[in-house]
């Protein structure tokens, strides 16, 4: 099942897609947020779709595609979680997941413009598998327990400003939390449609040139281990987003460092999760 949000910024409506049609979910929930997930919203929508009682949105293709979830309570990110990305940056393979936070207000739609911050010379791309939490998770014991907490998967773009991240104080949040720095979507895809989250292809191109072409099979820490591990240190809540790391091919690791400039277009795709496209514009 694909769950999405359509409409102008701040006025998106929740929808579900199935059988080539788009259905209005406002009779079930006002939005796709933590309360929706915690209340078993995914299952309720699945039952409604199977029952055939949801109203269709005939002009869905004409509507803007928003992020498939409302701003999450938190965005938890994993650094250096692909072996090839660690190698291209000259970093050692981490012994434990490297966790950091990103401002939830960075979330925008999958086709929205991304703002290059004032003073930025090193705005970089990072395609990532995003995981949305569907229930409260604390002190999880097993990979099975961890995966039971997943509401769905999504294409996530962890845009980064490398100078802000690495040269301005020695911590990463400033380089990750600039306005519009987390395009998300086009849809939240529920776990029943993803046979194995550790066998998904990811690709990203800039102005038509492929820069990243990887697979989640190259993750150092799996989705299940990331969730289990994180739950030992913090409570994960329904609606939280986890960005699980990026494969090799970022500008930081390419000779000449071809960082993003005004007018550049980035296109992203993850198997079974869809495609996204963003134009970068100077703030």
Average pLDDT over residues 20-30: 97
108 vs 86, more confident: 108
| CA–CA dist 116, 281 (Å, integer) | 6
Q: Can you name the residues that pair with 157 across neighbouring β-strands?
A: 127
Please answer whether residues 153 and 194 qualify as being in contact, where contact means their C-beta atoms are separated by less than 8 angstroms.
yes
Q: What is the pLDDT of residue 180?
A: 98
Q: Name the nearest CA neighbour of 67 among 121, 14, 109, 25.
A: 109
Q: What is the pLDDT of residue 41?
A: 98
- 269 Cβ contact partners less than 8 Å away, ≥ 6 residues apart: 155, 202, 203, 204, 275, 276
Structural domain spans, the chain: 2-62, 75-282
Coarse DSSP helix, strand, coil percentages of the chain, rounded to the nearest 5 percent? 20, 30, 45
User: Looking at the predicted structure, is the pLDDT value of residue 32 above 80?
Assistant: yes
Beta strands in 19-113 (DSSP E): 21-24, 75-79, 98-102, 107-108
Compute and round to an integer the Cα radius of gyration of the chain. Answer: 18
Q: What is the pLDDT of residue 231?
A: 98
Q: How many CA atoms lie within 13 A of 167 on its CB side?
A: 8
pLDDT in tens, 227-265: 999 999 999 999 999 999 999 999 999 999 999 999 999
| CA–CA dist 149, 160 (Å, integer) | 28
CA 65, 100, 236 angle in degrees (round to 5)? 70
| CA 280 from centroid of its chain's CA atoms | 18
Q: What is the pLDDT of residue 169?
A: 85
- Write b or e for each residue in 79-114: b if 16 or more Cβ atoms lie within 10 A of its Cβ, otherwise e: bbbbebbbebeeeeeeeebbebebbbebbbbbbbeb
pLDDT in tens, 76-88: 999 999 998 888 8
Neighbours of 186 (CB within 10 A): 25
Rounded to two decimals, the pTM is 0.97
User: Looking at the predicted structure, is the pLDDT value of residue 141 above 90?
Assistant: yes
User: Looking at the predicted structure, is the pLDDT value of residue 90 above 90?
Assistant: no
Q: What is the pLDDT of residue 190?
A: 98
Q: What is the pLDDT of residue 27?
A: 97
State how beta strands 241-243 and 209-215 pair.
unpaired
- The architecture in CATH of the region 75-282 reads Alpha-Beta Complex (3.90)
68 band by pLDDT with thresholds 50, 70 and 90:
very high
The DSSP letter of residue 279 is E
Average pLDDT over residues 199-226: 98
Q: What is the pLDDT of residue 171?
A: 77
107 band by pLDDT with thresholds 50, 70 and 90:
very high
Average pLDDT over residues 46-50: 95
Average pLDDT for the chain: 97
Q: What is the pLDDT of residue 170?
A: 76
pLDDT in tens, 153-195: 999 999 999 999 999 987 789 999 999 999 999 999 999 999 9
């Amino acid at each position: 099942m694909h769950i999405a949000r359509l409409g102008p910024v701040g006025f998106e409506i929740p929808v579900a897609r199935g059988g080539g049609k788009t259905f209005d979910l406002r009779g079930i929930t006002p939005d796709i947020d933590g309360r929706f997930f915690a209340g078993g919203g995914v299952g309720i929508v699945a039952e409604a779709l199977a029952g055939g009682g949801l109203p269709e949105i005939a002009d869905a293709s004409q509507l803007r595609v928003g992020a498939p979830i409302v701003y999450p309570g938190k965005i938890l990110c994993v650094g250096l979680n692909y072996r090839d990305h660690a190698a291209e940056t000259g970093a050692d393979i981490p012994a434990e997941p490297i966790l950091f936070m990103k401002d939830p207000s960075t979330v925008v739609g999958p086709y929205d413009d991304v703002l290059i911050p004032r003073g930025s010379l090193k705005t970089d791309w990072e395609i990532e598998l995003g995981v949305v939490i569907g229930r409260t998770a604390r002190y999880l014991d097993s990979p099975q327990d961890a995966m039971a907490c997943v509401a769905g998967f999504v294409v996530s773009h962890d845009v980064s400003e490398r100078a802000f991240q690495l040269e301005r104080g020695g911590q990463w949040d400033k380089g990750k939390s600039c306005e519009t720095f987390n395009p998300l979507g086009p849809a939240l895809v529920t776990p029943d449609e993803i046979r194995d989250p550790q066998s998904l292809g990811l690709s990203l191109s800039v102005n038509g040139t492929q820069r990243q072409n990887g697979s989640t099979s190259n993750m150092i820490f799996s989705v299940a281990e990331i969730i289990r591990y994180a739950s030992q240190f913090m409570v994960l809540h329904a609606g939280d987003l986890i960005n699980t790391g990026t494969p090799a091919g970022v500008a930081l690791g390419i000779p000449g460092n071809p960082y993003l400039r005004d007018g550049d277009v980035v296109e992203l795709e993850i198997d079974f999760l869809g495609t996204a496209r963003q134009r970068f514009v100077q703030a």
